[in-house]
Amino acid sequence: MTDISSTSAEELTSRRRDLRRKRRGRWLQTSWQVVSMTGLTIGVVWMVTLPDWMIRDPRQIVIQGNKSLSSDMIRAMMSVSYPESILALRPDQLARQLEAEAPIASATVTRRMFPPGMVVQIQERHPVATVYVSPSSSLTPNRRFDNLFATALIDENGVWIPYEKFVALNQSQQLPALKVIGLQEQYQAQWVSLYQAISRSPVKITMIDWREPSNLILYTDIGTVHCGPFGSRFAEQLKILDQMRELPDDIKSEQVAYIDLSNPDMPMLELAPGKAKPLKPSNE
């Protein structure tokens, strides 16, 4: 009996010791969690309210990659309330805002902690032509630039830029020299290949009349050119046009109404009043 009592007492003492150890461990764990959460909360509040991580001046926003658009104008388009915490700003949202409100192809906004601020990297959208509308149904050689109203600009990828917005943001920049009349947004895919061909052509083209889909008209340094409907042979038409710089000896330039390239295999000179003369390229 003495051994049994002694053993039972020792077991009880060990159990009590284990229980005290477990309670102490749980208390330490709970205390550590409370301390950690309190420290994290204090740290977050400290970081948000820390003056060094606040944007107080537009000059803390660094603009990179801009050429036509001024840095001050880009900063003004960003929805930033000064002063504002850097951590409260949403870079992706600010980037989308710039792409939507300005002729910017892409924008990347990143936070900068030391020194505090933001860095905005942009790639501008460069228009290559001005889109016009004309109240008249036809253009004459002497009055072809009269009564034209600019409505938009377009870049080489067919992206439209509203005229008023572009002028407001680029007051010191001239409009593209190339004019396009009658361009519709549904022609975007065709515009890409058309402009690529024009940009590679040695013939200077100043205006495109696309009001009639069945007859694309070009105004060039050689003369007015009727191309017929735009198609896969357009680049070939421009190549033939370059070969037609020299008129036959018996024809004067003022006699030519327009050059007809609707059939590239048989270019024609339309002479006033209404006469046509077949013409071969100068290199044949």
**The CATH number fitting domain 53-124, selected from 3.10.20.310, 3.30.70.1710, 3.10.20.30, 3.40.50.1010:** 3.10.20.310
Q: Whole-prediction pTM value?
A: 0.70
Report residue 62 as tokens.
């660094």
Q: Is the pLDDT of residue 253 over 50?
A: yes
| 3-state DSSP assignment of residue 126 | coil
Q: Nearest CA to 218 among 260, 173, 190, 253? A: 260
Decide if 110 contacts 91 (C-beta within 8 A): yes
Average pLDDT estimate for 230-249: 88
Q: Where are the beta strands (DSSP E) in the chain?
A: 54-55, 61-64, 84-85, 104-112, 117-124, 127-133, 149-155, 160-162, 179-181, 205-209, 217-220, 224-226, 256-260, 268-271, 275-278
- Domain residue limits, the chain: 53-124, 127-278
Residues 145-170: tens digit of each pLDDT: 567 788 999 999 999 999 988 888 88
Give me the phi and psi of 144, to 5 degrees please.
-75, -15
Q: Which residue has the higher pLDDT, 7 or 134?
A: 134
| Nearest of 162, 104, 100 to residue 131 by alpha carbon | 162
Phi first, then psi: what are they for 109, rounded to 5°?
A: -115, 125
Query: Mind listing the pLDDT tens digit for each residue in 53-73?
Result: 889 999 999 999 998 888 999
Distance CA 231, CA 190 (A): 9
Best CATH choice for the domain 127-278 from the list 3.90.220.20, 2.60.130.10, 3.40.50.11690, 3.30.110.30: 3.40.50.11690
Whole-number Å distance between alpha carbons of 125 and 154: 9
